[in-house]
Every structure is written in C-alpha cells, then in structure tokens.
Amino acid sequence: MAAIFSCSSLYKSPLFNNPFNPIPSPNNSPIRRIRPICSSQNPNRFQFSNKQKDGFTGIKECMLSVALAVGLITGVPSVGNANAVNPALSDLAVLISGPPIKDPEALLRYALPIDNKAIREVQKPLEDITESLKVSGVKALDSVERNLKQASRALKQGKNMIIAGLAESKKDHAIELLGKLEVGMEELQKIAEDRKRDAVAPKQKELLQYVGGVEEDMVDGFPYAVPEEYQNMPLLKGRATVDMKVKVKDNPNLEDCVFRIVLDGYNAPVTAGNFIDLVERHFYDGMEIQRADGFVVQTGDPEGPAEGFIDPSTEKMRTIPLEIMVEGEKTPVYGATLEDIGLYKAQTKLPFNAFGTMAMAREEFENNSASSQVFWLLKESELTPSNANILDGRYAVFGYVTQNEDFLADLKVGDVIESVQVVAGLDNLVNPSYKIAG
C-alpha cells in the first residue's frame, strides 16, 4: 500500500554512533529505553522510566559495542581482556566480511525452512538486479540482462529439482507461479532490450514475489514441535501479514501511513503468535508511539503500572520466552541469549539487518520478560553487520516491515497507532487466547 504523502527527508541512524557521544533519548518517553551503547560521561543521557530498566545495556554489551565501533573504524578490536565477550571479538574481519542482506523481503525468503539449491540459484541473480541498477544510466541494463540470463538458465536447468521440492498439497499453486515466473522473465528481458530502465525494478519485484511464493510452497506443514512448556501459548505456525496504520501529528508532509509487516512464525512461533493474539485483541489500537529517537521506534507499554499485557483470564501479565532461531538449527533457542550458551559467532535466521526489523523489548537481565512492548530498528547495516552488534542473538526478531519502512524515521513520540489489522495468515495462529477471553 502506498503512503499518502512522499517523505521529504529521512534520517537513518547507525547503531554505533561515536562511543563517547551516544544517541540522546527523549526525556518524556514513558517506556523502557533501548540503548545502542553506554557511556559513563553523562549517566543522565539514557534515563529509565520509573517502570522498567533498559533493555539493551550491561557491561558486556557496552564493551562489545564500543569495541566494534572502534574496530569498524580501525580494523582491529579494542577489547583485550579474556572475558566472555572476547571470542566474539577475536576476528572482526570474519564478522564483517561480505555485504549484509538488507532487503526485508530477501531476508524473509532466506529465512524459510527449505533446502532447495535450485530455487536459490534462480533467486540470487534476480536479487542482484538491485545492485546492477545502482550503475548510472542505461549501462545498468547490460548488467540486468546478464543477471536475467543467469536466472533464466538456472530455472531451466533446475526446474525438475524445484518441482521435486514442492509440498504435495501446494504443488499445483507453485507450478502456476513457475509459469508466471517464466513469462515474467521474458517480459523483463524485453524491458531491458528496450532500455526502459524505470520499468525494471517493478518487474523485478514481481518476479521475486513469484520466487518467494514458490519457496513458501516448499514448506510442508510446520517443521518442528514447540517445547511442551510453550505449546499452549498463542503460536503462529507459519507466517502472517499485518497492516499498521499510524496517524502522524505535526508533520505537513505526512498525515497517515500504513506499514505492512510480515511476521515469521517459522522462526519465532511464540513471539509472533503473542503479537498476533494482541493484535486481534486490538491491544495496540489507539496506542501512541512511545519512543522515536533515530535508533528505534517503540510502542506497546499500556497505561497504568503494568509493563505489558495483563491477561484478563489470569489478571497477570503475560510474558513470553526469549526465542532465537540459529542458522543451521531446526528449532529455536529458548530462554537464553546466544552469548549465554557460547554461540558467539552463530548467525541468526532473522538478523537485525533491515531498516524496520521488528523485535521484542524486554528487561535487561530477564531473558523471558517480554510481553507487549515491540520496537522497529532504524540503522545502517554496513556499520552493524549480522553477528557484529549488540542485538543479534540477544533480542527476539519476529518480522520485518516490507512496505513504507522508510517512513518509520518520520514517526515521533505521540503519533498514534490508529489500527493494526491482520490481512493474511490468521489461520496460522493456534491457541488464540483472544477467542477464549473475549
């Protein structure tokens, strides 16, 4: 859905500012702070509300963030003591090698629980068209044609393998998408030959949607069992899409904006299920944006003394476990950060790469304290690549903003969430408590 107004100026703050000049926080935000780094120079720069401690600090996190900030400038780590964070700093070159994937839809495609090399070999050159288009003028179209030829060749050679990887119940739908993909690539070839540069990106997006649809049709049911202690909680066993409509105050260039968000229950079923359940309760409708400082946009702290959602059926705050899926694993890690269990260099399936990465806020020293407070990260991935920041492996990512994400930078404290609505995937929610409690 397109925004009503275009954005005249966007500010994206890197995760690591000068380590001795941290990002200031608004003084009137009524919710827990989420700090990129810590500073002893001015302890009042990042004050908590009287409700809760900060979600991101701690000595290890501070040391890690400062070390990485310096390391990214100098090329060498700046922490030398052999404590628990040292393994994460032993080889920054490894951690920051290769450009990070920043496109939220690409991240979602790669996060699917599939293992089909043939479809990935079609996907990659189509995604590379984005880089090709960074070349000025019509010269970019020569690279686009090369990308397209590579994708077409991969599809032709790997089609049988792709079809063999489809879930039987979804095969007909996927084969239909493959047909549309083949026709679409021919159309894109003609666009490139006719040197219609402006028409390339929209067609590329369409083709990648077909690819993503085929990949989703390779998933045959939910791939694993959620631990018994969480099986009765609201669970999103698959994916869902929500639209969040925000009323923007005091901005002549932007009045209303609808953010489309894809929630990934394959990699965070408890976290995403909890959020969808709250959405269906209209918990977030009418709630204000409670933090917007160039680092994150955050909301979800209800009025009153409670720090999260009070379940009317129990009259207690509902909390959920920290939930992080690690690349190469079949089930998420529950109740522990990756640092806690010694996986310092493990890659997360849902990294903090994209502008508009959505995750749960929680208390600093309580891994299982998340309830209803959510945040969207605003940052530049080149300065904070996957596995080289203080967020990956420490906070539960469960989705990405896929439309209008850039407008998150325009939101301010006091802007109102008019509504959050599920537009697809509600049938993937199991154990919906809102149906029980009303």
Output the pLDDT for position 434.
Answer: 85
Specify which residues 242 forms β-bridges with: 261, 422
Number of H-type helices and E-type strands within the chain: 10, 14
Confidence band (pLDDT; 50, 70, 90) for 147?
A: very high
Between 223 and 386, whose confidence is greater? 223
pTM (predicted TM-score): 0.79
Between 360 and 49, whose confidence is greater? 360
Percent of the chain whose predicted confidence (pLDDT) is above 70:
74
Confidence band (pLDDT; 50, 70, 90) for 384?
A: low
What does the alpha-carbon distance between residue 335 and residue 368 come to, in Å, rounded to a whole number?
6
Confidence band (pLDDT; 50, 70, 90) for 353?
A: very high
Q: Name the nearest CA neighbour of 74 among 60, 98, 93, 99.
A: 93
Confidence band (pLDDT; 50, 70, 90) for 125?
A: very high
Tokens of 362: 């929680």
- Mean pLDDT across the chain: 80
Whether residue 355 contacts residue 407, with contact meaning beta carbons closer than 8 Å, is answered with no
Output the pLDDT for position 174.
Answer: 98
Output the pLDDT for position 157.
Answer: 98
Q: Which amino acid is at 366?
A: E
Between 365 and 45, whose confidence is greater? 365
Output the pLDDT for position 388.
Answer: 52
Output the pLDDT for position 278.
Answer: 98
Q: What is the pLDDT of residues 184-241, one digit of tens each?
A: 999 999 999 999 999 999 999 999 999 999 999 999 999 999 999 999 999 999 999 9
Confidence band (pLDDT; 50, 70, 90) for 249?
A: confident
Specify which residues 245 forms β-bridges with: 258, 419
Tokens of 381: 């991935």
Lowest mean pLDDT among 189-193, 216-220, 242-246, 255-259: 255-259
Which domains are present in the chain?
A: 104-218 (1.20.120.290), 235-430 (2.40.100.10)
Lowest mean pLDDT among 40-44, 251-255, 261-265, 308-312: 40-44
Output the pLDDT for position 30.
Answer: 32
Dihedral angle sign, alpha carbons of residues 373, 374, 377, 378: negative
Sequential DSSP letters for 285-351 = TTPBP-EESSSEEEE---SSS-SS-EETTTTEE--B--EEPBTT-SS-EESS-TTTTT-TTPPBSS-
Provide the strand spans (E) within 124-238.
235-236
Whole-angstrom CA distances from 55 to 31, 147, 297, 368 are 10, 43, 14, 12
What does the alpha-carbon distance between residue 120 and residue 92 come to, in Å, rounded to a whole number?
28
Tokens of 411: 């939101």
Kindly state the average pLDDT of the residues 47-76.
38
Q: Name the nearest CA neighbour of 417 among 311, 265, 302.
A: 302
Output the pLDDT for position 436.
Answer: 61
Is residue 100 over pLDDT 80? no
What does the alpha-carbon distance between residue 210 and residue 179 come to, in Å, rounded to a whole number?
9
What does the alpha-carbon distance between residue 265 and residue 235 come to, in Å, rounded to a whole number?
8
414 — alpha (psi -120 to 50), left (phi > 0) or beta?
left
Is residue 53 over pLDDT 80? no
Between 436 and 390, whose confidence is greater? 390
Kindly state the average pLDDT of the residues 414-438.
90
Q: Name the nearest CA neighbour of 129 among 141, 139, 142, 144.
A: 144
Tokens of 410: 């325009």
What does the alpha-carbon distance between residue 290 and residue 267 come to, in Å, rounded to a whole number?
27
Specify which residues 320 forms β-bridges with: 370
Is residue 374 over pLDDT 90? yes
Backbone angles phi, psi at 420, to 5 degrees: -130, 125
Identify the three-state secondary structure at position 420.
strand
Q: What is the pLDDT of residues 391-400, one digit of tens each?
A: 999 999 999 9
**Residue 149: burial class (beta carbons within 10 Å; 0-12, 13-18, 19+):** middle
Instruction: Return the top range by mean pLDDT from 27-41, 92-106, 248-262.
Output: 248-262
Q: What is the pLDDT of residues 172-185, one digit of tens each?
A: 999 999 999 999 99
What does the alpha-carbon distance between residue 219 and residue 258 come to, in Å, rounded to a whole number?
29
Contacts of 159-164 with C-beta under 8 Å, sequence gap 24+, read 159/118, 161/116, 161/117, 161/118, 162/116, 162/118, 162/119, 162/122, 162/214
Q: Name the nearest CA neighbour of 274 among 135, 94, 113, 396.
A: 396
